[in-house]
Amino acid sequence: MPVRRTRNAEHAQNREELSRDMRRRRLDLFIQQFEKEAQERMNELEAKVENMLATVDKVFKVELMKMPPALQNTLNALMRVFCRPRSVVSSGDLRCSVVGSAAHITVTTAEGQAVSFSEETKDEINWDLLDDVARCQIQKLKKLMEYLSQRMCKDA
């Protein structure tokens, strides 16, 4: 009889271990499936947010075109001031500038991408990166440089 009890006890213990292993595997599969579905849902939500932002941007541009040009210019200027990072950096603001380094500027595109220019890199400019915002900044800088040049001539 003792042999039989031992076999039954071993058999019950084996069934319990198999049951634990089965539950652990099922739980692991459940967690993997849950994480996969959560990631898919996050991707869907991100895509929806991107679509909504694109739609809002298009609607804003359409509404902006309906406004008088003076108001458009004012809104564009306000947006550049409040919605974009600092767009022009002087060599004095850069910690890496050294005495005798080439004069340079950095303008920011509507996408927030910084584009730097200098006398040394003028032939390497990627013109495709420059959008209307960057071109407008360059025109303003040109006017500023002309003004400063005139002031220097007057003071000299």
Tens digit of pLDDT for each residue in 100-133?
Answer: 456 777 787 777 777 777 777 778 777 777 888 8
pLDDT reported for residue 89: 38
pLDDT reported for residue 137: 84
C-alpha triplet 133, 140, 96: angle, nearest 5°: 85
Tens digit of pLDDT for each residue in 129-143?
Answer: 788 888 888 888 888
Tens digit of pLDDT for each residue in 51-75?
Answer: 998 898 888 888 888 888 888 888 7
- Residue of 30 and 83 predicted with greater confidence: 30
Tens digit of pLDDT for each residue in 18-42?
Answer: 888 899 999 999 999 999 999 999 9
Residue with tokens 């890199």: 121
Alpha carbon 112 to chain centroid, angstroms = 8
DSSP 38-92: HHHHHHHHHHHHHHHHHHHHHHHHHHHHHS-HHHHHHHHHHHHHHHS------GG
Confirm if 72 and 64 have CB atoms less than 8 A apart.
yes
pLDDT reported for residue 38: 92
Band the pLDDT of 2: cuts 50, 70, 90.
Answer: low
